[in-house]
Amino acid sequence: MKTHARVVVIGGGVVGVSTLYHLTHKGWSDVVLVERAELTAGSTWHAAGLLPLFNMSYTVGQLHKYSVDLYKRLQAETGQDVSFHATGNLRIATSRDRMDEYRKYCGTANTIGVPFEIISPKQVKELWPLLELGGTGDTAAIVGGLYHPQDGHIAPADLTMALRKGARAKGAEIYEQTEVTAVARTPAGEWKLTTTKGEITCEHVVCATGNYARQTGRMFGLEIPAIPVEHQYIVYEESPELKAYRQGGGRELAVMREPDQSYYLREERLGWILGPYEAGAPARFADGVPSWFGKSLFDGDLDRLVPHIEGAQRRVPALANCGIKDIVNGPISYTPDGSALIGPAWGLPNVWLNEGHSFGITAAGGAGWQLAEWIVEGEPGIDLLAVDPRRFGAYAGKRYVVTKNEETYRNVFTIHYPDEERPDARPAKTSPVYDRLKHMGAVFGQRYGWERANWFAPTGVEAKDDWSFRRTNWFEHVGNECRRLRERVGVIDLTPFTKHVVEGPGAEAWLDGLVANKVPTKTGRMALSHALTKRGGIRSEFTITKLDEGRFYVVSAGAAERYDTDLLHKRLPPDGSVRLSNITTSRGCFVVAGPRSRDVLAKLTDTPLDNAAFPWLTGQIAEVGLATDVYLLRVNFVGSLGWELHFPIEYARHLFVALFTAGAEHGIGMAGMRAMESLRMEKSYRMWGSDLTRENTPLEASLDRFVRMNKGDFTGRAALAAQLEKGVPNRFVTLEVHGVTDADPLGNEPLFDAKGRMIGRATSGIYGHVLKKSLAIGYVKPEFCEVGTRVAIEILGERKEATVLVDSPYDPGNQDLRA
Ligand SMILES: Cc1cc2nc3c(=O)[nH]c(=O)nc-3n(C[C@H](O)[C@H](O)[C@H](O)COP(=O)(O)OP(=O)(O)OC[C@H]3O[C@@H](n4cnc5c(N)ncnc54)[C@H](O)[C@@H]3O)c2cc1C
């Protein structure tokens, strides 16, 4: 075995081998893979080999698309047959909501170029003659379907072998029966891996260890939020009806899914494979895979399977006529949100994760492609936030992950509503005023482990969401919250914000090199700033306030805590001139906004709040009520007159009561995240993570005013300069969508010109209750960005007319903010 390599990949499942393959195809040949047993010995060998292109996520959809395209050409490249059966995938629907889900998905598919068809019940029957359309007895009627003609299934072991051949042909080495048992940093900053075959030192390590992710993580001191769940499929004997159909000239049937019965069904040698996602499937190996497990399987659990078998037999009666040959029950890695962990490990240099894959056969190609790009080029080519390992934080401990993974598994086939909030492992992280908010009718959602009020049910209204792709029960109440914030005064609890203090003699210069805007030089000034990637894409967004000489308060999105801490931490200068403190959980945050917000706050503080003493976009340290050391920032994300109060967390209850007492005469009330969404889109405020991602530069986001090209160097500056030279390829617009009666845009809708050519993508959308307009925001080619330009947007399969509005259509001159 080699003793040194540029990269060592740990784990020889399909994901590890794909990573190795792509590293070599990016030109790195000094790469090694070590596998404790033999290739595919983990979950890969027993996977059913389905390759569904369907995925609601813009990111994951792109990874899957890449995989399918790659797998089709692998045989020609490597000579290894991968048994790709391009049967197509058919998903049937038995409700309008399910069809809405498919139509919502079609928007995403269009934006990433995945071919699909929405088909009628008659076409479903033509594609799948052995299926009953239902509508009688206890079998629901099929109302339509979603068909992907170009995907199908593959042989996972053959696929792995083809990737192996492709990697070895370009210089990679693979060592089987070689287990990594310990890791350590060398004084030179490399990684030394101890294996059962000796030691190997490397620059980069990739962990692709599937069900072993927990114990791999422990070697590095990481708590990786990936724990497997039991997953079963049934292999049937030969089916007489299927045999007759095929012998009669019928083509191989598409892989069929009936999500409302939570199963998939595909042909297997004139018999069937039936794979359900059952309720009650337990998480396994939360403390690591025991040594006895090896390449084994669990016993099949027929009781869990029976309801799905019965449902499938009603839909495909031929199933009842063939016996069960085998039940395969294996561990399938899961994460709390069901997406994989692809990207850098937090807190450690050059440690990369490609873990937590539950659709690993489908994802391996794309996951290897993007991770290799990240390692070799320093950046992934697409926005990977949805799979970035740092989207989870320390809250994702063992019990949380077990509970959430079991919930995610049993919900694989439920309808993925845009306003869906799942109940398990909640409440976990709460603001100190959580119980008060609940008492006020809060309907909570969970983000980054935090409970956040989405909206407030008034007295007499049930505090419960009725999830939908259309306007639903919370619409009207959110509208009232919006109006309160524009007409009187409202409070939003934004305690989950990520909060850092950056201080030291080198703080200002260091921050200035990190972000595109000029870091404030005067105490009390504040700047919205973006940390860019080397390619100029938006990586992070920070509101930076100068608290004092050499001391800055840096606020970013609540869900970005680990993601941003990791950036700041990894970029700290080694000379100790900058100190970084993460104070997220020691400060709470209330937004007090609306035309009466000054009157309310003035009763609680002696700090003058008039424009001269406290202008917009400045901050002061103040006493508010009995709370001391409150960072009072005159800024907010709803675009009304207002302040954010960032206070020592122990004052949360006091401040909350004080604000409501002082605000009673002004009609103060709470508002939730959905009102904030609506209000911020009326102001064209871009949201980090959806509107602002590494796929677009701040110039494309039309945030030119937050970029200071002449201030000196900063990360991404060269890329922006090149873009300015060549021409900015996209521009950000706010659109009014016409003719909407109940389905507003939600984000991820394609935009078209008059000739039907795709010219952009909406990244967010909602109804603007104060403007009384259905709104979408997103990117278009620059020739479509002029105010008044007409474009079309596809919402749930329907094309609607839309007009480009002025940026910030509510109060474009920011008069309210300056009032
Ligand atoms: C019943 C079942 C059916 C499935 N069907 C499908 C399907 O149809 N389509 C689909 O896309 N997905 C399917 N999956 C999921 C799929 O099997 C996995 O997502 C995929 O195999 C994961 O691949 P991997 O490389 O991440 O992990 P694995 O295949 O588990 O590979 C990890 C490897 O790491 C090795 N390893 C661990 N620790 C060490 C160490 N310390 N040193 C060296 N080596 C180590 C292990 O031995 C193992 O070989 C199914 C899963 C199950 C259980």
pTM of the model: 0.97
CA nearest ligand 1 atom 26, residue = 210
Q: How far apart are CA 327 and CA 73, in angstroms?
A: 32
Helix (H/G/I), strand (E/B), else coil: 756:
coil
Instruction: Give 464 Cα–ligand 1 centroid separation in angstroms.
Output: 39
pLDDT band at 137 (very low <50, low <70, confident <90, very high): confident
* N-terminal to C-terminal alpha carbon distance within the chain: 71
Q: Out of 180, 332, 341, 355, give the residue to mutate to test ligand 1, the one with the largest number of ligand atoms within 8 Å of its CB.
A: 332
The structure tokens 């202008």 sit at 615
CA of 51 to the centre of ligand 1 (A): 15
Using a 10 angstrom Cβ sphere, with 0-12 exposed, 13-18 middle and 19 or more buried, the burial of residue 272 is buried
β-strands 144-148, 89-93 pairing:
antiparallel
Output the six-digit token pair for 171.
């210089």
Task: Please state the rounded mean pLDDT for residues 448-467.
Answer: 98
Half-sphere exposure of 199 (CA within 13 A, CB side): 9
Q: 209 C-alpha vs ligand 1 centroid, how far in Å?
A: 8
The counts of H helices and E strands in the chain are: 19, 37
Burial 22-47 (b: 16+ CB within 10 A, else e): bbbbbebebbbbbbbeebbbbbbbbb
d(CA 45, ligand 1 centre) in Å: 8
Burial, 457: exposed, middle or buried (Cβ in 10 Å; 0-12, 13-18, 19+)? Answer: middle
Residue 359 CA, ligand 1 centroid: distance in Å: 9
What's the pLDDT score for residue 357? 98
> Which is nearest to 449 in space by CA: 511, 399, 512?
399
Pocket test for ligand 1, best of 14, 193, 209 (most atoms within 8 A of CB): 209
Q: What is the pLDDT of residue 116?
A: 94
Ligand 1: which of 9, 17, 40, 43 to mutate, most ligand atoms within 8 Å of CB?
43
Phi, psi of 817, deg, nearest 5: -65, -30
Question: Any residues with CB less than 8 A from the CB of 347 and at least 6 apart, and which?
Answer: 222, 566, 569
On whether the CB atoms of residues 51 and 71 are closer than 8 A, the answer is yes
Q: Compute, in angstroms, the gap from residue 325 CA to the centroid of ligand 1.
A: 23
Place of tokens 């003793």: 3
Percent of the chain with pLDDT over 70: 100
CA 410 to chain CA mean position, Å: 19
pLDDT in tens, 636-695: 999 999 999 999 999 999 999 999 999 999 999 999 999 999 999 999 999 999 999 999
- Ligand 1 atom with minimal separation from the 219 CA: 41
Query: Which one-letter DSSP state was computed for residue 260?
Result: G
Q: What angle do CA 692, 697, 702 make, to 5 degrees?
A: 80
Please identify, by atom number, the ligand 1 atom nearest to the C-alpha of residue 11: 34
pLDDT confidence bin for 295, thresholds 50/70/90: confident
Q: Which atom of ligand 1 is nearest to the CA of 228?
A: 53
Q: Please report the pLDDT score of residue 454 as a whole number.
A: 98
Residue with tokens 């995925």: 55
Q: For residue 92, what is the enclosing H or E element? A: strand 89-93
pLDDT at 723 over 90: yes
Q: Hey, how many other C-beta atoms are within 10 angstroms of the C-beta on 549?
A: 10
- In this structure, which residue's CA is closest to atom 31 in ligand 1? 13
pLDDT at 136: 85
Short-list 220, 225, 199, 208, CA closest to 348: 220
- Rounded CA separation 455/130 (Å): 47
50 CA → ligand 1 middle, Å: 14
Q: 745-803 pLDDT, tens per residue?
A: 999 999 999 999 999 999 999 999 999 999 999 999 999 999 999 999 999 999 999 99
pLDDT confidence band for 138 (50 / 70 / 90) = confident
By alpha-carbon position, which residue is closest to atom 18 of ligand 1? 360
Q: Quick one: which atom of ligand 1 is closest to the CA of 354?
A: 26
3-class SS string, 342-361: EEECCCCCCEEEEECCCCHH
Pocket test for ligand 1, best of 285, 361, 387 (most atoms within 8 A of CB): 361
Q: Which residues line ligand 1 (CB under 6 A)?
A: 10-16, 34-37, 41-44, 46-50, 179-180, 208-212, 216, 231, 233, 328, 330-332, 357-362
Cα angle 546-551-552, degrees, rounded to a multiple of 5? 50
The rounded distance, in Å, linking the Cα atoms of 484 and 654 is 23
Residue 574: per-residue pLDDT: 95
Tokens linked to 811: 């109060």
Q: How far is the CA of 689 from the centre of ligand 1 (A)?
A: 29
Distance 12 CA to ligand 1 centre (A): 9
Ligand 1 atom having least distance to the Cα of 358:
19
pLDDT higher than 90, residue 84: yes
What are the tokens at 226? 């990936």
Comparing C-alpha atoms, which of 571, 486, 491, 528 is closest to residue 819?
486
| 328-367 per-position pLDDT tens digit | 999 999 999 999 999 999 999 999 999 999 999 999 999 9
Find the 273 Cα to ligand 1 centroid distance in Å.
19
Average pLDDT, the chain: 97
With CA atoms as reference, report the closest residue to 424 among 404, 396, 452: 404
> Cα separation of 596 and 599, whole Å?
5
Looking at ligand 1, which residue's alpha carbon is closest to its atom 35? Answer: 11
Does the CA dihedral 70-73-78-84 come out positive or negative?
positive
Q: How far apart are CA 10 and CA 215, in angstroms?
A: 12
CA nearest neighbour of 65 among 341, 382, 354, 277: 382
221 Cα: distance to centroid of ligand 1 (angstroms):
22
User: Whose C-alpha lies nearest to ligand 1, atom 25?
Assistant: 13
Kindly report, residue by residue over 564-575, the tens digit of the pLDDT: 999 999 999 999
pLDDT of residue 433 exceeding 90: yes
Residue nearest (by alpha carbon) to ligand 1 atom 4: 47
Answer whether the bond into residue 427 is a cis peptide, omega within 30°.
yes
| CA 39 to ligand 1: nearest atom | 49
Interval between CA 334 and ligand 1 midpoint (Å): 11
CA gap 779, 241 in Å, rounded: 51
Nearest to 632 by CA among 640, 457, 623, 641: 623
List the 324-334 sheet strands across, edge first.
117-119, 144-148, 89-93, 255-258, 263-268, 271-276, 227-236, 324-334
What separation in Å is there between the alpha carbon of 17 and the centre of ligand 1?
11
Nearest CA to ligand 1 atom 21: 44
DSSP structural state of residue 3: S
Cα 443 to Cα 477: distance, rounded to the nearest angstrom: 11
Which residues, in sequence order, are bridge partners of residue 762?
A: 749, 778
- Distance in Å, CA 205 to ligand 1 centroid: 18
Residue the block writes with tokens 């504040």: 526
Question: CB under 8 Å to 71, separation ≥6 — which residues?
Answer: 51, 82, 84, 154, 159, 365
Question: Is the separation of the CB atoms in 458 and 476 below 8 Å?
Answer: no
> Which residue type occupies 433?
V
In the chain, % of residues over pLDDT 90? 99
Which atom of ligand 1 lies closest to the CA of 361? Answer: 11
Residue 593 makes CB contacts below 8 A (sequence gap 6+) with: 485, 489, 490, 492, 636, 638, 640, 641, 642, 643
Pocket test for ligand 1, best of 85, 212, 308, 326 (most atoms within 8 A of CB): 212
For residue 295, the CA-to-ligand 1 centroid distance in Å is 11
Q: At what angle do helices 156-169 and 360-377 cross, to 10 degrees?
A: 20
Q: How far is the CA of 58 from the centre of ligand 1 (A)?
A: 24
Is the pLDDT reported for residue 294 higher than 90? no
